[in-house]
Structure formats: C-alpha cells, structure tokens
Amino acid sequence: MTILIGLIVTFACLFGGFMAMGGHIGVIWQPWEYVIIGGSSIGIFFVANPMKVVKDSGKATLEAFKEAAPKPRDYLDVLGVLYNLMRVLRGKSTAEAEEHVDDPENSAIFQAAPRLLANKDLTNFICDYCRLIIMGNARPHEIEALMDEEIHTISHDKLKAQGAMQNMADGLPALGIVAAVLGVIKAMGALDQSPELLGKLIGAALVGTFAGIFMSYGLVGPVASKIKIVRQKQMRLYIVVKQTLLAFMNGAMPQIALEHGRKTISAYERPSIDEVEEETVAAAAAGEAAAA
C-alpha cells in the first residue's frame, strides 16, 4: 500500500509540476523511447540472471507491493508452535516427538498454525533442528553455528532478487542515454526539415534521458529497496526460531525459551508477554485436545 501511495504522490508532483511550469504533457509521451529503455533493461535482466532469480524477482516484487512482511499473528503462530514442540520434546517419548517433525502437514501442532505451515522453508527449518534435538548428540554451540550458517545462506538467496533489481536500476540511466542518442541520430537525419519539426524530434530524444533516470531512481530503485526491507523482515522469523530452540537446548523451560525468541522481534512488532502467554495457553489446550 505504501508503494502505491508513494507512486501516486511521485507522479502527481512530477507531471503536475511540469504542467504548472507550462510544459505540455504530450511531449513526455514518447512510447518508443520507453520501449527502447524498458525492453532493453528487461532483456539485459534476463541475460544477467539465472531463471530462478528472474522468477524470484517477480515474486519479490509482488511481496513488496503487498508488504508481505511478518505480522504479529505470524510471530504468535511461530511461538505457539515452538511452545508445543518443546513441551513434546521435554515430556513425550522420542517416537511421539518424531511424528510431528517428520510429517508436519499431518501434525496437530502445525495444523493449528496454517500460515506457518504454508511457509515450507520455515517449517522445514523448525523440523530439521527439532530432529537434531531429538537425536541428542549435537551440542548447543554446534547447533548455533549450523543455524547461523543456514540463516546466512537463506538470507543470501532471498536477497538475490533485490540485488538483481538494483543492478537493473543502476543500468537504466545509461539506457536512457542510449535512447536519447538514438533520438538525436533520428533528429540529425531531419536537419533539412522545419525548425518546428526538428525541435520536436530533439525534445523526443531528450525524453529518453529523463525516462531512464526517472525509472531508475523513481521506480525500480525504490522497489528494490522495498524488496530488501520485506525480505529482511521475513528472515526475522528464523532468528526467533533459532534463539528459542537454543535457549531450550541450554536447559530453559519452554515458556522462558519463548521469551528469548520474543526479545529478538523489533519493538514495534513484538507481541507482549501477555499475548504470548495467551497464545501458548491456547496452543497447549489445542495440543492436549488433539492428543485426546
């Protein structure tokens, strides 16, 4: 929503200010200049990036427009699932615990948090480390090092789309100059025409420079920045899982371990202790009902 608001303000001020200066808005409409710049940038984007990154860039752009960052409900879902899993790990047999982490889609614990279950990467992350805890041979500091490495890898992969979009933004001003040069070449072929026609051709050529710079700093660059913000916030869920499970491995009770995870959430998004307590009570009740 903020992207749309920002774009509306940007376009209104840009074109409104141009018209207020006495400019004719029709002069800016040079579709073939935009085809040269936009088409070339998309083609170069495909050349420079593997198809997986291209597809992920489209997905990341949609996430940026939807502001698909974790909401308080997502944090509560993660904490509730972790609480139930830790209770099972502490109080149930190995076989009962393995049932939940080996088949999360059919686990009552995960089914109680459908938004989390839909996030396959995060679900697998939780299950993998709970499985290591069940094995009981790994030391907490070894698990922490492994978690850090995996989180770093996941973060690197998630930010490839942002890097690709930023590279496109960096190249757009140069492509604008290319479009402008092509427009000037066309204008030079019409030197024998009237000054009025020649002026229009030169004005059209200069639109290419404007379009390249504006598309870079006014459109693609800000979207790339938004992608980075959203994806970094998504990684916060992994940090919550990491700190919670490490505290549990170091001997903390489930409720105390949750507090370790809760404290890693940004202050303006962090659920209160009371909200977490209500969530864990509800999660425990749901787990007991499912077991019965």
CB-side neighbour CA atoms (13 Å) of 275: 13
Q: Give one DSSP letter per residue of 137-159, joined into a string.
A: -S-HHHHHHHHHHHHHHHHHHHT
Residue 4 pLDDT = 85
What tens digit of pLDDT does each residue of 117-160 get? 999 999 999 999 998 888 877 788 889 999 999 999 999 999 99
Q: Which range among 7-11, 101-105, 135-139 shows the weakest confidence by mean pLDDT?
A: 135-139
Give CA–CA dist 172/191, Å, rounded: 29
Which residue has tokens 């800000």?
A: 222
Q: Rounded to two decimals, what is the model's pTM?
A: 0.86
Enumerate long-range contacts of 117-124, CB under 8 Å, 24 or more apart: 119/237, 121/154, 122/78, 122/237, 122/238, 122/241
**8 Å CB contact between 160 and 56:** yes
Range among 26-30, 31-35, 40-44, 193-197 rated most confident: 40-44
- Domain parsing of the chain, residue ranges: 30-292
